[in-house]
Structure 1
C-alpha cells in the first residue's frame, strides 16, 4: 500500500513536491485534506497495522496461487481489504477486465489512433478542470499530472461505447482507476467492466439502470427499515434526490477515499449488490436521525450528514458492518426487485405525454 508518509506531511514524492507548496495536508492519493486531515491521520495511524497484516497475507496467497481464483478464501480476503500494491491486479482479474485486455491486444491504442469525434472531445475537455480540483495530481497539465491520462481513457471509452459516449460522473470513476492502476489501458478495461457488465444502463442516455436501482433501494428499505420506508414514501421521487449521486459516482466524494476503495474491492469481486449493502448500512445505522426529519429539506440534509463522520471514516469497521447490519441480501433478491422496478418505471414512462 502507499506509505502514509509518502504524499502527505513531508511530501517526499518528487511529482508532489513540484505540484505542492508546504504545508502539505495531503493524503496518500494526492487529495488535499484541509478540514479533516487530523482525523484522517489518526485513523490511518491505526489502520496501517491492518494494512500490514493484509499485505503479508495477500502476498503469501498470490505467491502460492498466482492465478486469482473466485473462491471463499479470496472472497474473504477481498472483504477484509486488498492492499494497494495488489489492487490493480485483483480488480483486473476479478472483474474480467484482464481477460478482455489479453484477448484484444492493441485495441486501446487503436481507439486513441482513430479520428476523434469533435463533440465528444469538447464534452470531455469541459469536465477536465472539474475532476478532483482538490487533488494535486489532477491540477497540473504537465507530464507529472494525470489529466492527459484521464482524457485519453475517457476519449477511448467514448469511441469504444458510442451508445454511452461520455456523461458526468465517468470522469471521477476513471480518475480513481488511474490513481490506483497508474495505467491508462488497465483503467480503460476496468471502466468497460464497470459500465458494461457490473452496472449496465447506469450511464446510458436514459440511465434506466440507475433509476431502477434507486427504486430497488427504496424497496429494500421498506423491508429492512419499515419506519424509514414509510417516511420516505411521503415524498415521491425522494430516492433520486438523496442517493442518485451515491450510485452514479460509486460513492466517490460521498464517502472517504479509503472507504470507497474498500467498497470497490467488493464491487469488482462480488458485483453491484455491494452498492445496496453500503446504502442500507448508512440508512439502518442512522435510522433514528432520519426519522426525526419533518420535511423534504430535512430528509435531504440528513442523507448528506449520514455519510460523514467517524462511522464512515473508519473503513475497516464500516466494511465489517455492511456485511452484518443489512442481514441477508442475495443477488436473486436484487434481480427480482430490479425486474419489478424496471417494469414499473417503463410503464410510468409510457404513460407520460
Structure 2
C-alpha cells in the first residue's frame, strides 16, 4: 500500500490535491448558476415524454418490494475484511440534518424527503463465504489468484476504514448525519478529492443518487415507477430480459439462485419471486433470489419508459450493480435512466450510435496522444505499418483522420455500454463509478486512456497483430489496485484529469458530423474529402489548454 499511501491518506496534502495542477479546467467549485444548469439539464432529459403503451397489465405478486439493498453493508454478519467505524461516534442530531452549502432551489425543500426504506434481513445479508469479497463476488478469477487478491485486500481494507472515518468527519462538518446519510457535502474541490479517493461502500449508492440529481428527479416523477410496472412491455423485450436475468452476475451470492434455473421447484413452497406477465399467464415457476426479482422489475419498467431502447444486453449489468448499492428499486431505475439519457445518450439504442461515436472519439484521441499505441491497434486505417511504426508524429497528424473504427473496438464496446463492468475488477469499477456519477461521462474517457497508458509498453511490444485483441482485453482485467488506477488517471504528468466535459462533447459532435458526411458521400458514390466540422475548434481532447466556459454536463 506504500505505493499510493502518500498520495491518498492525507486529504490536505499538496501532492494529493488534483485541483492545483493547473490542467483540470473544471477544478473550480460549482457555482449556484452552474449547479442550476446541471440540474435543469438532468431534469429535462428525464422529462422527455416517453411513448408509454396504453395497455395495462398487472405484474404478479402485487406492488413491488421496497428493497433496502444497502443493508448488506450494515449487517453485523459481514465478512471480517469489511472495515468498521469503531472510532467514530457521536452521530449528529437528525434534526440538524442539512446541507450547509445548499444552493438555490436545492432538493432539500419540503417538496421531497428521502425516507430510509426498511426491510427485514434476508439470508443474503448474512455472512458470506471466505472466498467472496465484500460485495459477494468471487475473489479468484482467471486473471487473479486468491493469493493476489488477499495480498492487495489486506492493505486496501485498512485504507477503506481510514477513508470512512474521514468521510464521517466531513459529513459532520457539513451538518449531515452519518447514520445512513441521504444528503452529502456540496460540490467543491474538497468534495471532489473525497469522491476520487472512494466513497464508503455502505454510503456509495446514496451518494451516487444524490450527486447524479436523483432526489430532484424523484420529486418530479412520484409514482412513475409504480405505474410503469403495471404496463405491458414489448414481447421481444420481455423475452430478452428473461434470458439475461440469470446471466447477470451468476457468481455473485446475491444474484445466484439456490437452484439452477432449470431445476424443478417444490409446488408447496411459498412463492417469493415475481415473474413476467407471460410466465404468470402460463403459471410458470422459477426459483430465484429477491435480487433477480428486483432486476426483472427495474428492466421491465425501463423498457416501457424508453421505447427507443427497450432492452439490450449490458443494461442488466448496469441495473444489477445499481441494485447492489442503492436503497430501492426506484432509485436504481432512475439512475439507469440518468446513465442512458444524460451521460451516454444513444449508446444503448438499437443502432448503438452513441457507443460508436464514443469509441470514435476515444480512437481519435488515442491517435493524437499515443501514436505508437494507435499504430498497433488501428494503424492500418491510415496506412501506418503496425510492425514498424512511423517515427514522424508530424506526418501522421497530417493524414486525414479515418472515420472507420479499427477492429480492436469490437472488444471495447463494453467499456462504454457497461461502464467498465466486467472489464475492470469490481473494486476498480466501483471507484470509477464513484467519479462517474459525480463528474460525468468524461470519466469513462479518462479511465480508458489510463488503461492504454498503463498498458502502453505491453501493447508496443506486441509483434503479431493477431495478439493485440488478447492483450487489450487482458490489461484492464488485471488492474485490481483501484488506488493505483485512479492515481495514474489524475497524476500531474501524463495523467488525464485535465479532460473536460466540454471537450468530450465537442469531439462527440464532431464525430457525429463526420460519420453523417461519410454516409452521405458513400450514398452518392463520391470520393470527396469529408468537410471540416463547422464549429470552433477546442484543440486536442488531451490538450492542456484551460477552457473558460463551464461544461454542460456534470461539473
- TM-score, length-normalised on structure 2? 0.58
From 154, 164, 181, the counterpart of 1:55:
164
Correspondence for 2:135: 29
Q: Against the structure 1 CA distance between its residues 19 and 45, is the aligned structure 2 distance closer, same or farther, given a 3 Å change threshold? A: closer
* Pair 1:315 & 2:482 matched: yes
Matches of 1:350 and 1:28, distance apart in 2: 52
Correspondence for 2:201: 84
Correspondence for 1:15: 123
From 408, 411, 418, the counterpart of 1:249:
418
* Pair 1:299 & 2:444 matched: no
Correspondence for 1:133: 250
8 Å contact kept, 2:124–2:254: yes
From 372, 388, 395, the counterpart of 1:227:
372
Matches of 1:113 and 1:338, distance apart in 2: 37
* Pair 1:180 & 2:286 matched: no
SS at match of 1:294: coil
Correspondence for 2:227: 110
Instruction: For 1:194-273, list aligned pairs within 5 A.
Output: 194-236=339-381, 237-238=405-406, 239-273=408-442
Q: CA deviation at 1:113?
A: 1.6
Q: Against the structure 1 CA distance between its residues 259 and 224, is the aligned structure 2 distance closer, same or farther, given a 3 Å change threshold? A: same
Corresponding pairs, count = 347
From 287, 293, 296, the counterpart of 1:151:
296
* Pair 1:347 & 2:455 matched: no
Matches of 1:274 and 1:177, distance apart in 2: 18
Matches of 2:469 and 2:77, distance apart in 1: 37
Q: CA deviation at 1:319?
A: 1.0
Higher relative contact order (CA 8 A, sep 6+): 2
Q: Which has the larger radius of gyration?
A: 2
* Pair 1:332 & 2:499 matched: no
SS at match of 2:325: helix
8 Å contact kept, 2:314–2:417: yes
Task: Mark the runs of 5 or more structure 2 residues left unpaired by the alignment.
Answer: 1-71, 82-120, 177-182, 258-285, 382-404, 524-555
Q: CA deviation at 1:62?
A: 2.4
Q: CA deviation at 1:2?
A: 4.0
SS at match of 2:242: helix
Deviates more, 1:214-223 or 1:116-125: 116-125
Task: Mark the runs of 5 or more structure 1 residues left unpaired by the alignment.
Answer: none
Q: Against the structure 1 CA distance between its residues 307 and 8, is the aligned structure 2 distance closer, same or farther, given a 3 Å change threshold? A: farther
8 Å contact kept, 1:158–1:164: yes
Task: Calculate the aligned-residue CA RMSD, in Å.
Answer: 2.6
SS at match of 2:477: coil
Q: CA deviation at 1:202?
A: 0.7
8 Å contact kept, 1:139–1:145: no
Correspondence for 1:98: 215
Q: Is the helix fraction higher in 1 or 2?
A: 1
Runs of 4+ with >3 A deviation: 1-5, 16-20, 141-145, 349-353
Q: CA deviation at 1:260?
A: 0.3
Matches of 1:18 and 1:57, distance apart in 2: 27
